[in-house]
Structure 1
Amino acid sequence: MGMYHARPTVADLRARKTAGDKLTMLFVETEDEARAAAEAGIDMLSVVAPLWTPAMRAAAGDCFVQVGLLYGALCTGEDYLRAAHAAMQTGADCVYCAASLDIQKLLCDNAIPVVAHVGLIPSQCTWTGGFRAVGKTAAGARAVWDHVKRLEEIGCFGAELEVVPDRVARMIAENTPLLLLGMGAGAHADAQYLFAEDVLGHGVNKRPRHARTYRNFAAEFERLQRERVAAFGEFIADVKSGDYPGPEHAVSISDEEFESFLSELGR
């Protein structure tokens, strides 16, 4: 019989929302990032399905992990259901699904905790004007509200709430049981969600306005790459000059055995 894990459950996170706790969440892509997040005490992690492995689960420690089912890589409800079950069997705590309401409902009906997406939905943002804030008009804010209410009705556990006005986010967060994971949604979302690459300062994509960078890993990575090139160049030079390999890198054979070997060859 397996040991019970210490990481939070859906019920725990709902209780923390009710208590007014502010949660932290990171999108991570490597086991090192997951381990660092767990050690630091980050509450929730987001990992895309192709990177979700038993090793990543182990690295994530007691973090509650949302596994992202890739929109467009899956098509039918059965595709999503199989992928969701696979993620949960590998130790996911919930799944992210940006598919249609009927597919999200199918997952919910199978008791899989589902996080949906409202506001700026990157995979569907052509409908709302591209990568820009959503909900800055009364009609736009009402559309986000109505979307959240539909997600409540089908049984979703939470939703990423991306780039909506802070007052709109507060109104919604205080009037829904959904856990709202805020990205650029102000201080009143239930969790503050950033990408590790933005926090660490090595993202290749444009850093969003709402991100805060705490380290300059890009400069450190650039320095390490220069050091790699230099080390490899020194290795080449040592081989060409005969400095490598040296006697300490060679395997020896006794004179007696070597002479015996030569006599075997008739030399």
Structure 2
Amino acid sequence: MPARVTLQRLAEMKARREPIVMVTAYDYPTGRTAEQAEVDMVLVGDSGAQVVLGHDSTVAVTVDEMLVLAGAVRRAVHTAFVVADLPFGSTEVSDEQAIATAVRFVKEAGADAVKLEGGGEARLSRIRAIADAGIPVVAHVGLTPQTAVALGGLRAQGRTADSAARIVREALAVQDAGASVVVIEAVPADVAAVVLPHLRIPVIGIGAGPADGQVLVVHDLLGITEGKTAAFVKRYGAIGPDMVAGVAAYAREVRSGVFPGTEHVYSATEVAVEAARAALEGREA
């Protein structure tokens, strides 16, 4: 089995300019898929609220729901570095609340690190508090889905002078606050490139051009997600349509009597069949 990926390993990959591969996972099967594909990092994202739990946005998912998802992924993943999103509402009240939530993900779900969105003053305080408690933090700047309403919706950031300057300031600030890794989402590549040389920690891009690594939602890249996906998504499979086709074929065969066939049933001895008949006759008597 390959050696387990650690923060030191990620730092070494950045230093060697060895691309870091990160993907989301939300349960044991997707965790096993990520593990067998030998990715470096697995994110148990609050995007599970949408792709697994069927909500319209990420804000609906609870801490307890995320703990179930993260625990299932951790049981499947033994090599990759596992990061768990801290859901909306679980860190906003105070540093103490943020620490308590982060501790639960480490103790109950086995996460290697937790992820927080945003780079404002309150978020920086949370990053410092969690990091000081000994828990690695992955920061997230640019498009932050939990607070997308305040950003004007799920749209690219950094396309205006004010927005671009804010992203640069926040990326540097989360590093200074103690983040071990930073995700930059939905930012023009030219804007992200301005700050990349000044970040000592690994940078994971998603719709932000080349970086130290990349992350995509597993349902998006495998073609499970229905409807339109973000412009930065590349699909590497079409599993969604295959799943529908498979279940539809099963339904047709059940309804037509084709399934189950003789090859799908168990055989019994004549003695067993006679005993079953005798048991029935005994009841009828």
Superposition TM-score tier, normalisation by shorter sequence:
0.7 to 0.9
Q: Contact 1:71–1:98 (CA<8 Å) still a contact in 2?
A: no
Q: Of the two, which has the highest radius of gyration? A: 1
1:202 aligned to 2:224? yes
CA spacing shift, 1:252–1:131, aligned 2, 3 Å: same
Structure 2 residue 211 is matched with structure 1 residue 185: no
Q: State the 1:185 CA deviation.
A: 0.4
Structure 2 equivalent of residue 20 of structure 1: 17
Question: For 1:154 and 1:247, how far apart are their aligned partners in 2?
Answer: 67
Q: Counterpart of 2:52?
A: none
- Quick one: which of 273, 280, 283 aligns to 1:252? 273
Deviation at 1:258, TM superposition (A): 4.2
* CA distance 1:16–1:254, change in 2 (3 Å): closer
Equivalents in 2 of 1:68, 1:123: separation in Å?
Answer: 11
Aligned pair count? 251
Give 1:119 deviation, angstroms. 0.7
Instruction: List 4+ stretches of structure 1 deviating above 6 A.
Output: none
Q: TM-score, normalised by structure 2?
A: 0.77
Q: 1:156 aligns with which of 166, 170, 179?
A: 179
Q: CA deviation at 1:110?
A: 0.6
Match of 2:99 among 53, 62, 81: 81
Of residues 110, 114, 118, the one that matches 2:141 is 118
Q: Is the 8 A contact 1:71 1:97 kept in 2?
A: no
Percent identical among aligned pairs is 26
How far is the alpha carbon of 1:126 from its aligned partner? Answer: 2.7
Partner SS, residue 52 of structure 1: helix
Q: 1:67 aligns with which of 84, 87, 93?
A: 84
What CA deviation, in whole Å up to 9, does each residue of 1:195-220 have, x standing for no partner? 11111101035311011101111210
Counterpart residue type for residue 180 of structure 2: F
Structure 1 gaps of 5+ residues are 239-244
Where in structure 2 are there 5+ consecutive unaligned residues?
46-65
TM-score w.r.t. length of structure 1: 0.82
CA distance, structure 2, for counterparts of residue 247 and residue 203 of structure 1: 42
User: SS of 1:92's equivalent?
Assistant: coil
